[in-house]
A and B are shown apart, each in its own frame.
Chain A
């Protein structure tokens, strides 16, 4: 039985390897083509003759992408010999798992909107609190409805921030902070309603507030490092009171 499972797993892996090798082939071909933009046989730049082939900046990349192409072909041939090509076109063949795909997609959506949409534009404590709430609530019990709801909450805030304030010059705006805070509060209330009998859900609000608050304050005031979005609605207040109210207490 164990051997059967292993054989099935290897068959699925070879079907995936088939697609993986094709992607690697395409990528190595693309980058090889881009490498030819770099002078290989010496060139004349602004009247200055650049180096010979053996010192060209293209030499090592050409070797790397050629080797990558060769190894991708080896992987492709191994996958085809093991029957990977035959299985590669069916969902069963590549081991498609709907529940796993949903899990990955919702986490992927949450992480994408958090990093690309929220962190640059929204107060770090607010967006990290929302992230912690969404990830724990969505994935603690592995319920698909919760995963989708959590992903929608983060995607809503992230897409609002990205659409309304795409260019860097607008990242300081505060309306996306407010939207994030409102959605975070709404999600937290929903989590607490669902939390009856579940200790983990009950501690989510504490973790969601305490963890980013401690981290960002330690980084900004302890290590004196740059932190994302210093102008965010919560952090700007903390920063103001740290420098104006608290710091004079010990610095004077």
Chain B
């Protein structure tokens, strides 16, 4: 009880301090607006919104405002993806792909206003569910994480990369793992963290500090998006927005169990290292289809289907911040961009993080979700007008934004070369259906993995059994092995045989 009271008091104090600062609202409103715009424009993603703003705000304004700008854009962009999903049948972000399944049929049948209103409400409640989970679980996990030492950290980093590779892969799982390994390999460049031995610098002094996170993020997420999006596309006919957008309270109350269930699923999926909002949306949609009485209507204009995906993708944000803040392992690709912002501000997320930062993150999330809710309900028509802008017009401007953002973070012109190189590689990887998220997670966690893996061996005098000698390390080792083994054809076949027998 005392713990809960302390938490509420801490949160209240932080919330009040932010609420009485007028600058908070300037950053909040502009970043949520920008986020919704990024999400609403097909071709721009939530990750891109956070990445570009990291370049702009990451280390140029005080940390509080920088967090407001980045979290506001994150919350706004995940929600904004629902606009083109509902009105154009084109997901604005990957996170909203499941939303289009029911949103567009609803809009076509003249219920577009109702769909948008409920989506806004569900996204708002979803974000709050994720944020409450963040407030509660982050402290529980922080207490537990005091027992996490180098072997556990190394195994956790490995688990994050493997899990992200497994779940984010569209084609073969092996491609996700390869992408993760490429990211890890990139993180090896520069001076090694224990002995300062130069690795793969090829005589270029810039490489001594290794691959910088922001240019890698810009290259991995922005450049392929720009190359891919610069093509002639006729914007489809937008469904008419009939009916009022303000949601009917009775309907919201009726669907509350669905919203609550999807919020919990979204938070849970978000808490898995490296797994993003798109997976959360689809998992929740799949669960909803299985358990709902109107499951047969999913895909044909079901409000429950719409709410299942939209609540989960926004709830995923709070979930994704849990491993980021507790362990320094991003829970989703936009959280990886957020980690970049923490890094350039010299903040190391993990067990040693300043608890005040966690409370500030929670307070900002609550404020951002309220701002998103109000903007979504009262300025929807502005975002509908933005939807009509062709990709070929805004993507060149995004390229200029990316260039100046990447340049100003610190490394100057060399960062731009790195960004372009990573961008071309990421484009070809996209073309070959290699997921990019594990690569970025690999780059971010590579240093941590290298340092903690070798430190574990150093402390144990080269004894490899150190990775199984402690209970948490043992569990994590088993999880890593199980994850790899689960992809072996023999084991897959054995499992499917077992499932057939059981069912």
Which of A's residues lie within 8 Å of B, judged by CB? 13, 16-17, 20, 24, 31, 34-35, 38-39, 50-61, 64-65, 67-68, 71-72, 74-75, 78, 103-104, 107-108, 111-112, 114-116, 119-120, 124, 128, 131-132, 135-136, 139-142, 200, 203, 207, 211-212, 215-216, 219, 223-228
Contacts and interface: CB of A to CB of B under 8 A. Distances in A.
B56 interface: yes
B188 A60 contact: yes
Given A78-B172, A115-B403, A207-B397, A51 B195 contact: yes
Interface stretch (B18-26, B110-118, B310-318, B451-459): B451-459
A111 B406 CA distance: 15
Contacts of B181: 64, 67-68, 71
A61 B432 contact: no
A164 B404 CA distance: 24
Interface stretch (B39-47, B320-328, B364-372, B387-395): B387-395
B479 interface: no
Interface size classification for chain B: 35 or more
Contact of A132 (B227, B396, B413, B453): B396
Contacts of A52: 462
B195 A115 contact: no
B56 A223 contact: yes
A132 to B, nearest CB: 4
B218 to A, nearest CB: 11
Given A54-B457, A131-B396, A136-B396, A72 B232 contact: no
Given A128-B400, A135-B399, A16 B454 contact: no
A211 B400 CA distance: 8
Contacts of A141: 232
Contacts of B226: 107, 111
A119 B184 CA distance: 30
A55 B407 contact: no
A78 B174 contact: yes
A28 B200 CA distance: 13
B396, B403, B454 — which one has the most chain A CB atoms within 10 A of its CB? Answer: B396
A57 B392 CA distance: 46
B192 A57 contact: yes
A227 B419 CA distance: 16
Nearest to A142: B232
Interface string B240-262: 00000000000000000000000
Contacts of A223: 56, 60-61, 408
Interface of B: 56, 60-61, 171-172, 174-175, 177-178, 181-182, 184-185, 188, 192, 194-195, 197, 199-200, 223, 226-227, 230-232, 390, 392-393, 395-397, 399-401, 403-404, 407-408, 412-413, 416-417, 419-420, 423-424, 427, 431-434, 449-450, 453-454, 457-458, 461-462
B60, B397, B461 — which one has the most chain A CB atoms within 10 A of its CB? Answer: B397
Given A72-B178, A103-B230, A228 B404 contact: yes
A124 B450 CA distance: 39
A37 to B, nearest CB: 9
Contacts of B232: 139-142
B185 A132 contact: no
Contact of A226 (B397, B408, B461): B408
Contact of A13 (B61, B171, B400): B171
A58 B192 CA distance: 9
A190 to B, nearest CB: 17
A71 B360 CA distance: 42
A13 B432 CA distance: 7
A153 B181 CA distance: 39
Given A16-B432, A75-B175, A226-B408, A57 B194 contact: yes
Nearest to A63: B453
B417 A116 contact: yes
A50 B178 contact: no
A200 B393 contact: yes
Contacts of B195: 50-51, 55, 57
A220 B412 CA distance: 14
A111 B420 contact: yes
